[in-house]
Chains A and B, each alone.
Chain A
Amino acid sequence: MKTPILAFTVLLMMCLGALAELKWEQTMIELRPAANDKQAIGHFKYQNTGSTPVHFKSVHASCGCTTAQSQKEEVPPGDKGEITATFNIGDRTGTQVKTVTVETDEATNQRTVLTLKAEIPQQLEITPSFVFWKQGDKADTKTINVKVGKDFTVKHIKVTSSTPDFQTKVEEAGNGQFKIDVKPQDTNKIVASMLTIQPEDSQKVFYATARITNAPNVPVAPAGATAPARPTAPTGQTD
């Protein structure tokens, strides 16, 4: 009885050994793009260590900001190749983790998740990036804090308002930090202004917004409000 079981096991192992198998050099890549880079690109290299061809069934990125391409649809035994994952950075900051799911026709391990981790450097951290006053409020000064990223040196910043409705004043707070005091001329009229923040000796420009808002003129429903029988249109909605 033991002999057939042993034979079956050996045969099974031989069959598995003969099957196609993609060996990935790494399934996770960490990148540190430069401040002005538009893209972060990861090359996930593989080799077919089996004895039959492997076919890619799908290569699918986790978000619209990432594209993934395979060089070939079929990988013959012994052949090498790579999946190229391109992450479009856009205006993202901080740690970004994007994944690419690869499906093949392998007998085992048909689905592999490749991970691209990118640390996007941030030259200036601006908090808050939005200051506002309600119409008729006292025209008090509000402060925007600016912190220089750890990999950068910024000694001075220049702030300009797109309209004369707001005055700005920069104060150096030391340790790579600045305070921007923003004061409206008055709060009688509804107005918005873009505050342009430019570090000295840098082409990169950052923005904040200052605004005089109108007061809300719609009743605010409780958070748990039930849906009406017919869909209620959001602002400006038509059926």
Chain B
Amino acid sequence: MAALALFPAAGEAVYFRDKISWRSAIAPSEMVTVEQARGWGDSAIWVDARPDDEFANDHVPGAISLNEDRWNELLPQFLAVWVPGKKIVVYCSSLNCNASREVARRLRKEAQLSDVFVLEGGWEAWLKKNR
């Protein structure tokens, strides 16, 4: 009986393994891998959604800091260098972080920019592929 009672929980655990509740929903088409984003070369702008101290410590070369701690201050700085037609690649620290999804969502909704992508695996994935 006890083993039977575990079945629903086990099923949910498997079904929801990639749907952690605190993470913003995002369509697969809005995700991009490190390889794809690197392939875009100069036609992509990299946006670092991590806190200031982590950006100051290290970041993707050329990336622009845009986090929600200082959104009102940093957004105009980002918009000052944004160029129509360029893709925007937003990353945060790792696979499980949510900051990049939130920043991407706000860029789409509030600034109404298109071609905004979230980097799969974030900074950790970039590091693995580049260092």
A231 to chain B: closest CB distance in Å? 6
Given A63-B98, A64-B54, A234:B61 Cβ within 8 A: yes
- A228 near B40 with CB under 8 A, answer no
Bound: A88/B53 CA distance, A: 15
- A126 near B39 with CB under 8 A, answer no
Q: How many residue pairs bridge A and B at CB < 8 Å?
A: 142
Bound: A232/B37 CA distance, A: 9
Residues of A within 8 A of B71 (CB): 90-92
Residues of B within 8 A of A132 (CB): 84
B97 interface residue, CB < 8 Å from A? yes
Q: Which of B83-131 contact A (CB under 8 A)?
A: 83-87, 89, 93, 96-99, 102, 109-113, 129-130
B29 to chain A: closest CB distance in Å? 9
Q: Which of A185-239 contact B (CB under 8 A)?
A: 192, 194, 206-207, 209, 211, 213-221, 223-228, 231-238
- B41 near A221 with CB under 8 A, answer yes
Bound: A115/B20 CA distance, A: 12
Residues of A within 8 A of B129 (CB): 231
A99 interface residue, CB < 8 Å from B? yes
- A233 near B62 with CB under 8 A, answer yes
B53 to chain A: closest CB distance in Å? 8
Residues of A within 8 A of B110 (CB): 126-130
A166 to chain B: closest CB distance in Å? 14
Q: Which of A99-143 contact B (CB under 8 A)?
A: 99, 115, 126-130, 132, 134
A153 to chain B: closest CB distance in Å? 22
Residue of A nearest to B67 (CB): A90
- A238: contacting residue among B43, B50, B61, CB under 8 A: B61
- A130 near B35 with CB under 8 A, answer no
B19 to chain A: closest CB distance in Å? 13
A179 interface residue, CB < 8 Å from B? no
- A228: contacting residue among B38, B70, B73, B113, CB under 8 A: B38
- A209: contacting residue among B40, B70, B75, CB under 8 A: B75
A128 to chain B: closest CB distance in Å? 4
- A234 near B62 with CB under 8 A, answer yes
A167 to chain B: closest CB distance in Å? 19
Question: A residues within 8 Å of B by Cβ?
Answer: 62-65, 88, 90-92, 97-99, 115, 126-130, 132, 134, 192, 194, 206-207, 209, 211, 213-221, 223-228, 231-238
Question: B residues within 8 Å of A by Cβ?
Answer: 21-22, 32, 34-36, 38-46, 50-51, 53-54, 60-63, 67-73, 75-76, 79-80, 82-87, 89, 93, 96-99, 102, 109-113, 129-130
Q: List 25 A-B contacts (CB under 8 A).
A: A64-B54, A90-B68, A91-B71, A91-B73, A97-B21, A127-B109, A129-B110, A130-B79, A132-B84, A192-B79, A207-B75, A209-B80, A211-B79, A211-B80, A216-B85, A218-B42, A225-B39, A228-B38, A231-B38, A231-B130, A232-B42, A233-B42, A233-B61, A234-B45, A237-B62
5 further interface pairs, Cβ-Cβ under 8 Å (given A62-B98, A215-B84, A237-B62): A62-B22, A65-B68, A92-B102, A226-B39, A237-B60
